[in-house]
């Protein structure tokens, strides 16, 4: 078995009048995130982690934010496309781990739903998905409540026999 690790990072600014979508789950809050798509910052970080591990570029190339096809896009649907691209290149998802960085709201009540949502899009079991949240103790843009940041790592795996030597 050959494996590759990938890293993704993203940040979006809070904006009133939009739903807050994280890992494909709508979170009850007074603000959503600004973005061309649903601005699901966590799912964006996961997509970039997969694309990085598979050497397939990044989401800015694949889903340009000036392309009207992706206006209001559901990011977990784009994640499914990324998983399919990686699969076409011979890679399967081993596991994914995500850290959301935000001061508010608390995400613990949504964690299981977020894990299930990502696992379904990734085509893996829930035991292969980690979703965690942390604050920055009021420091920086997340600490001031200006937005949400997310980091993700992904392990991709493939059989040696498919590796082409």
List the one residue from 6, 10, 91, 122 that touches Mg ion (CB under 5 A).
10
Of all residues in the shown chain, the one whose CB is closest to Mg ion is: 44
Q: Which two tokens stand for residue 35?
A: 């973005």
| Residue 122 or 152 having the CB closest to Mg ion | 152
Helix axis angle, 111-122 to 41-54, nearest 10°: 40
- Nearest approach in angstroms of CB 17 to Mg ion is 19
Cα distance between residue 76 and residue 59, in whole Å: 13
Cα distance between residue 37 and residue 55, in whole Å: 23
What one-character DSSP code corresponds to residue 44? H
Residue 97 DSSP SS3? strand
Residues in the chain: 165
Judged by CB under 5 A, the number of residues near Mg ion is: 2
- Nearest approach in angstroms of CB 35 to Mg ion is 6
Residues 127-156 within binding reach of Mg ion (CB under 5 A): none
- Nearest approach in angstroms of CB 1 to Mg ion is 31
Quick one: which segment of 18-26, 37-45, 93-101, 120-128 binds Mg ion (CB under 5 A)? Answer: 37-45
Give CA separation, 55 vs 4, 37, 50, in Å. Answer: 10, 23, 8
**38 makes contact with Mg ion (CB under 5 A):** no
Q: What is the pattern of x (binds Mg ion, CB under 5 A) and - over residues 42-81?
A: --x-------------------------------------
Cα distance between residue 26 and residue 41, in whole Å: 12
Binding site for Mg ion (CB under 5 A): 10, 44
């Amino acid at each position: 078995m050959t494996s590759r690790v990938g890293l993704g990072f993203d940040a979006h600014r809070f904006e009133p009048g939009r739903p807050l979508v994280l890992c494909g789950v709508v979170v009850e809050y007074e603000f959503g995130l600004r973005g061309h798509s649903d601005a699901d910052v966590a799912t964006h970080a996961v997509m970039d982690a997969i694309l990085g591990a598979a050497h397939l570029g990044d989401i800015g190339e694949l889903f340009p934010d000036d392309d009207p096809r992706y206006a209001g896009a559901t990011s977990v649907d784009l994640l499914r496309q990324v998983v399919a691209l990686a699969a076409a290149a011979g890679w399967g998802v081993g596991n994914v781990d995500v850290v959301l960085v935000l001061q508010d709201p608390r995400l613990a009540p949504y964690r299981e739903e977020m894990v299930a949502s990502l696992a379904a899009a990734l085509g893996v079991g829930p035991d292969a998905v980690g979703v965690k949240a942390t604050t920055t103790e009021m420091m920086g843009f997340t600490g001031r409540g200006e937005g949400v940041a997310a980091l993700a790592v992904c392990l991709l795996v493939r059989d040696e026999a498919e590796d082409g030597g």
